[in-house]
């Protein structure tokens, strides 16, 4: 689905922060992306999500070579990838419901078409009673779940989550991880960036370990 | 009322297995499940207490309010310009109409020629032309009173070579061929000449044209300034809403969608500003009309009325205000779309 070959990344004229990355995200796979803080996990997530272009190497996303792809085709590819950011990136002037429904509005769907889907997904993530609430009054865990619901609403083929358990207590972190594994069982490839070693110990999954800009893959 | 199940008690997603096959069919495959029960807000309708979808670009920002004010002021200036131009144009049109509807025939005294016979001949000849309402030669008394300020009382007209005037009222200037009338008079009536005030009307026409041209110039400058203000405001809005733009990008929005959302935002803003400016301009027009009516009798007001007629903006002026409001909204929306697209190209 997503394939990296000898990918390198540097910001400006600085030194390379990611070096010779070669790996593949297989369909229906589950992997942790880990490494110490500042190892480049977020930059790698941004590369996976096509919001950054590599300074060298080849990235193929759903069979398309990103170096030659037309800019107009990027939104179509991005819709196949759901992203949960560490800082949630919910829009404060929209309610929880409207935030989760945003990707469907972007697709040009009418509200009547998606209303029940959004409500059911919100209930599933435990935010059924909080759908009219604006993000500033949601707790960290609720924001995290709203961000996850927004990432899932269009049923993406790949889910990228950057430190999804970074702002929640351990029991909620375990529940969110169970949610990700359930999604994976339903067919979504999941990439979770985390530096929480206890999570890695709880779930036996493929690990992509970043250190000094280089990656080691433990299958 | 069914309460939502938190993920710790209900980890199964509300969807059928997401094989690529069924993923392609529905964005979220929830249709096989029971329809969810949603707690309705008091007074809510069919939408389960959901408000109508809020605009994606936040509507109320300080920069937005400032721009609405700028647009309102620019619209007011543009509308006032349109009002002033129509006022001058109408006045010039009235002057022109008055002048065009009246022409004068002058019969100069010539030795050996009976002037009264020539006057009758000129009247008869003029009445043959279409578009003539009435033809009347000035009587001796009228001619005397006309010359009295210069030549004093008790003037003997026969003793002086005073030309006689024939006043012609025109009912339809379009029908009357003044050039033909002039040639006929000069050929058939001894000492006749025709004055159709064409010098005055051409000067008035040139003046009115110049006023309209200046008005359009001012209008262009005002609208140009507004367009520039919108460009800067759009850039500020893009900078202020970079989180919104970034979120829209990562949920797969195309640049055209983002531009459309900002365009809608600025269209509403332009309409609000434009309508406010237009309304204030209309109030100004009405107030000026009332003031000039109420100040009738004062020297200044009478002078003004003599020059411009009644100071009230005509229907074309109000149509112009509506057109300015529509133009302002259109320009605001198009400019913002262009500025957003330029910004997105730069960002990428």
Mean pLDDT of A105-116: 89
pLDDT tens, residue by residue, B119-147: 899 999 998 888 888 888 888 888 888 88
**Token pair in block for residue A83:** 């992203």
pLDDT of B36: 40
- Asked if the C-beta of B183 comes within 8 angstroms of chain A's C-beta atoms, the answer is no
pLDDT tens, residue by residue, B109-122: 888 888 888 889 99
Contact A123 B248 (CB under 8 A): no
Mean pLDDT of B327-342: 85
Contact A83 B250 (CB under 8 A): yes
Q: Which long-range contacts (CB under 8 A, 24 or more apart) does B119-126 make?
A: B119/B164, B119/B166, B121/B188, B121/B189, B122/B166, B122/B185, B122/B189, B122/B192, B123/B166, B125/B184, B125/B185, B125/B188, B125/B189, B126/B166, B126/B168, B126/B181, B126/B185
Give DSSP secondary structure letters for chain A.
-EEEEEEEE-STTS--SEEEEEEEE-TT-EEEEE-STTSSHHHHHHHHTTSS--SEEEEEETTEETTT--GGGHHHHHTTEEEE-TT----TTS-HHHHHHHHHHHTT--HHHHHHHHHHHHHHTT-GGGTTS-GGGS-HHHHHHHHHHHHHTT--SEEEEESTTTTS-HHHHHHHHHHHHHHHHTT-EEEEEE--HHHHHHS--EEEEEETTEEEEE-
Please tell me the distance in Å from A206's CA to the nearest CA on chain B. 21
pLDDT of B17: 36
Percent of residues, chain B, with pLDDT higher than 90: 4
Residue B95 pLDDT > 80? no
pLDDT of A90: 93
- Asked if the C-beta of A53 comes within 8 angstroms of chain B's C-beta atoms, the answer is no
Residue A116 pLDDT > 70? yes
Interface of B with A in 51-110 (CB under 8 A): 51, 53-54, 56, 58
CA gap B277, B288 in Å, rounded = 16
Residues of chain A neighbouring B16 (CB-CB closer than 8 A): 186
Task: Provide the mean pLDDT of chain A.
Answer: 88
- Asked if the C-beta of B240 comes within 8 angstroms of chain A's C-beta atoms, the answer is no
**B25, B27, B37, best to mutate vs chain A, most A CBs in 10 Å:** B27
**A53, A74, A93, best to mutate vs chain B, most B CBs in 10 Å:** A93
pLDDT of B48: 53
**Token pair in block for residue B67:** 């721009």
- Asked if the C-beta of B347 comes within 8 angstroms of chain A's C-beta atoms, the answer is no
Residue A94 pLDDT > 50? yes
Contact B53 A119 (CB under 8 A): no
Residue B311 pLDDT > 90? no
Overall residue count recorded for chain A in this entry? 219
Task: Provide the mean pLDDT of chain B.
Answer: 77
Which of A18-32, A94-108, B80-94, B273-287 shows the lowest mean pLDDT across its residues? B80-94
- The more confident residue out of B208 and B49 is B208
- The more confident residue out of B300 and A143 is A143
pLDDT of B6: 42
pLDDT of B22: 43
Contact B252 A186 (CB under 8 A): no
Residue B41 pLDDT > 60? no
């Amino acid at each position: 689905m997503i394939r990296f070959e000898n990918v390198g990344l540097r910001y400006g004229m600085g030194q390379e922060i990611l070096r010779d990355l070669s790996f593949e995200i297989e369909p229906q796979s589950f992997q942790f992306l880990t490494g110490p803080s500042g190892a480049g996990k977020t930059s790698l997530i941004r590369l996976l999500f096509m919001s950054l272009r590599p300074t060298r190497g080849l990235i193929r996303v759903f069979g398309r070579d990103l170096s030659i792809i037309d800019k107009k085709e990027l939104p179509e590819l991005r819709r196949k990838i759901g992203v949960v950011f560490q800082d949630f990136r919910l829009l404060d002037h929209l309610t929880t419901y409207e935030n989760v429904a945003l990707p469907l509005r972007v697709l040009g769907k009418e509200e009547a078409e998606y209303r029940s889907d959004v409500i059911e997904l919100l209930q599933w993530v435990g935010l059924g009673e909080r759908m009219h609430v604006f993000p500033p009054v949601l707790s960290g865990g609720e924001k995290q779940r709203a961000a996850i619901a927004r990432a899932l609403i269009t049923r993406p083929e790949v889910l990228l989550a950057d430190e999804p358990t970074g702002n929640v207590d351990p029991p909620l972190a375990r529940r969110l991880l169970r949610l990700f594994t359930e999604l994976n069982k339903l067919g979504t490839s999941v990439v979770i960036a985390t530096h929480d070693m206890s999570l890695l110990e709880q779930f036996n999954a493929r690990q992509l370990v970043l250190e000094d800009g280089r990656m080691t893959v433990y299958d | 009322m069914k309460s939502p199940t938190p993920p710790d008690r209900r980890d199964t997603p509300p969807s059928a297995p997401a094989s690529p096959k069924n993923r392609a069919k529905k964005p979220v495959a929830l249709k096989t499940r029971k329809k969810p029960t949603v707690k309705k807000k008091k007074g809510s309708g069919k939408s389960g207490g959901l408000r109508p979808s809020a605009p994606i670009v936040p509507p109320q920002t300080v920069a937005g309010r400032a721009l609405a004010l700028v647009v309102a002021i620019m619209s007011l200036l543009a509308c006032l310009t349109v009002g002033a131009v129509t006022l001058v144009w109408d006045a010039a049109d009235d002057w022109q109409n008055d002048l065009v509807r009246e022409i004068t025939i002058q019969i100069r005294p010539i030795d050996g020629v009976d002037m009264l016979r020539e006057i009758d001949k000129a009247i008869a000849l003029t009445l043959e032309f279409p578009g003539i309402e009435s033809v009347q030669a000035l009587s001796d008394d009228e001619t005397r009173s006309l010359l009295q300020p210069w030549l004093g009382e008790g003037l003997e007209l026969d003793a002086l070579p005073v030309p006689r005037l024939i006043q012609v009222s025109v009912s339809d200037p379009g029908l009357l061929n003044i050039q033909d009338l002039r040639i006929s008079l000069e050929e058939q009536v001894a000492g006749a000449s025709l004055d159709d005030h064409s010098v005055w009307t051409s000067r008035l026409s040139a003046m009115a044209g110049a006023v309209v041209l200046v008005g359009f110039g001012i209008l262009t400058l005002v609208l140009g300034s507004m367009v520039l203000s919108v460009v800067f405001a759009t850039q500020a809005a893009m900078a202020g809403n970079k989180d919104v733009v970034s979120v829209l990008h990562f949920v797969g929005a195309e640049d055209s969608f983002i531009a459309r959302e900002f365009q809608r935002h600025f269209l509403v803003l332009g309409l609000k500003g434009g309508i406010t400016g237009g309304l204030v301009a209309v109030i100004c027009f009405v107030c000026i009309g009332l003031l000039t009516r109420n100040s009738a009798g004062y020297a200044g007001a009478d002078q003004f009325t003599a020059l411009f007629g009644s100071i009230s903006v005509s229907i074309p002026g109000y149509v112009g205000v509506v057109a300015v409001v529509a133009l302002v909204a259109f320009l605001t929306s198009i400019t913002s779309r262009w500025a957003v697209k330029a910004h997105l190209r730069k960002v990428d």
